[in-house]
Amino acid sequence: MAAQKDLWDAIVIGAGIQGCFTAYHLAKHRKRVLLLEQFFLPHSRGSSHGQSRIIRKAYLEDFYTQMMHECYQIWAQLEHEAGTQLHRQTGLLLLGTKENQELKTIQANLSRQRVEHQCLSSEELKQRFPNIRLARGEVGLLDNSGGVLYAYKALRALQDAVRQLGGIVHDGEKVVEINPGLLVKVKTTTRSYQAKSLVITAGPWSNQLLRPLGIELPLQTLRINVCYWRERVPGSYGVSQAFPCFLWLGLYPHHLYGLPAGEYPGLMKVSYHHGNHADPEERDCPTARADIRDVQIVSSFVRDHFPDLKPEPAVMESCMYTNTPDEHFILDRHPKYDNIVIGAGFSGHGFKLAPVVGKILYELSMKLTPSYDLAPFRISRFPSLGKAHL
């Protein structure tokens, strides 16, 4: 029973990329940290699994680009500590019409923050990327810093780093009760713990933990179909051909994105940045796969714009997004309990930003001044979350 009475500086719930980076920063600062994960690791039920993610500085919002400067440094540091490659620079190509406002805003943001980039005319695009078919005289914006993060390797390296720094990781241990107070008590399926602070980074399960604490965040859980498409000529869209990651703006309500062929030889990842409403507890049910309108969107997109890909998906995987209404993160303390910190709503673009998100959550949990302006990430920006919820 002695172990149950141990006091932790911080407990982090959820061992996805955000929780792992939070635990990493806590452990780096010699805090006694326990990282709890309901599933046995590794698992594919949340938002942090899979082989690859895009990394980029190209953003509409300058605050994300600012955060990305430090993210690149911390990713490089983790890569050095792990002694393994976690990232490959390929460039990120953004495509849209000349009139596309998003493209204009991103370009202005990159210029303002002195991020190396190139503007490509339709003619230049055709010369450099002859296997992309342009439909509406699209122009390009190349973010030279863009590339691929090796997501699975990164998550595993981070979990190892947390352990090496003295952090404790308990997987297969679901939290069933949280009792707030000067010391937060956390009860799991196997035992109880207490800590000076608690950080909740539970992805699609965040509201299940927060409702008993008197708050429900405006989170929407989506199931995303992640599709891979076979090259007609292997290597034509590969890293070896210097093919970049891409984001295609303005064709549909949400953008389409792709990564050069790599994780599955001869297959390129191209997907739609949106999905279908899903209950995280039922994501593996056969009915969860029934709605494939997003796959049909990507199929017609591939057929129209990537002539050297076969327009039927060769592999389909799934991933969960947990979206906020404005698709900005929630990084804040609980409105009533200031030693409970919440990181949620990463809206399908949080992986690359996790090094700085983890740093911010560490700072909030230790009551330090945050390194960044948190106004875009506060719970109070959602006016419907009034005192009635508390």
User: Residue 224 corresponds to which amino acid?
Assistant: I
Cα–Cα distances (Å) from 238 to 53, 120, 179, 265, in that order, read: 15, 21, 51, 9
pLDDT at 184 over 70: yes
Residues 234 and 194 in one domain: no
**Residues 317 and 380 occupy one common structural domain:** no
Last residue of some domain: 323, 347, 371? 323
- DSSP assignment of 319-365, as one string? EEEEE-TTS--EEEE-SS-TTEEEEE--TT--TTTHHHHHHHHHHHH
User: Are 306 and 242 part of one and the same domain?
Assistant: yes
Task: Please give the pLDDT value at position 286.
Answer: 45
Q: Domain check: are 30 and 105 in the same one?
A: no
Range of the domain at 98: 89-148+220-323
Give the integer Cα–Cα distance in Å for 88 and 109. Answer: 23
What's the pTM?
Answer: 0.93
Is the domain of 305 the same as that of 160?
no
Same domain, yes or no: 166 and 275? no
What does the alpha-carbon distance between residue 74 and residue 267 come to, in Å, rounded to a whole number?
Answer: 30
Residue 55 lies in a domain: no
DSSP annotation of 136: S
pLDDT in tens, 363-376: 999 999 999 999 99
Q: Is 54 helix (H, G, I), strand (E, B) or coil?
A: strand
- Rounded average pLDDT over 121-145: 95
Together in a domain, 29 and 170: yes
For residues 209-222, give the mean pLDDT: 96
DSSP structural state of residue 261 = B
Exposed e or buried b per residue across 253-278, where buried means at least 16 C-beta atoms within 10 angstroms of its C-beta: eebbbbbbbbbeebbbbbbbbbbbeb
- Does the structure show a pLDDT above 70 at 44? no
Phi-psi region of 267 (alpha: psi -120 to 50; beta: other; left: phi over 0): beta
Lowest mean pLDDT among 98-102, 213-217, 279-283, 299-303: 279-283
What pLDDT is attached to residue 318?
A: 85
Residues 282, 232 share a domain: yes
Number of domain units in the chain: 2
Judgement on whether residues 124 and 230 belong to the same structural domain of the protein: yes
Q: Are residue 137 and residue 272 in the same domain, yes or no?
A: yes
Which CATH number characterizes residue 209's domain?
3.50.50.60
Distances (CA, A) of 265 to 10, 225, 230, 233, 269: 42, 19, 9, 11, 11
Token representation of residue 312? 């039927």
> Is-cis flag, bond preceding 42, omega within 30?
yes
| Adjacency order of strands within the sheet including 147-150 | 52-55, 147-150, 87-89
User: Does the CA dihedral 352-305-227-90 come out positive or negative?
Assistant: negative
Among the listed residues 55, 22, 35, the one whose alpha carbon sits nearest the alpha carbon of residue 352: 55
Model confidence pLDDT, tens digit, residues 96-129: 999 999 999 999 999 999 999 999 999 999 999 9
Domain annotation covers residue 64: no
Q: Are residues 164 and 299 in the same domain?
A: no
Tell me if 56 is assigned to some domain. no
Instruction: Report whether pLDDT(307) > 70.
Output: yes
**Could you tell me if 304 and 206 lie in one domain?**
no
Backbone phi, psi, residue 170, to 5° = -115, 110
pLDDT band at 303 (very low <50, low <70, confident <90, very high): very high
Asked if residue 363 is part of any domain, the answer here is yes
Distance CA 303, CA 306 (A): 6
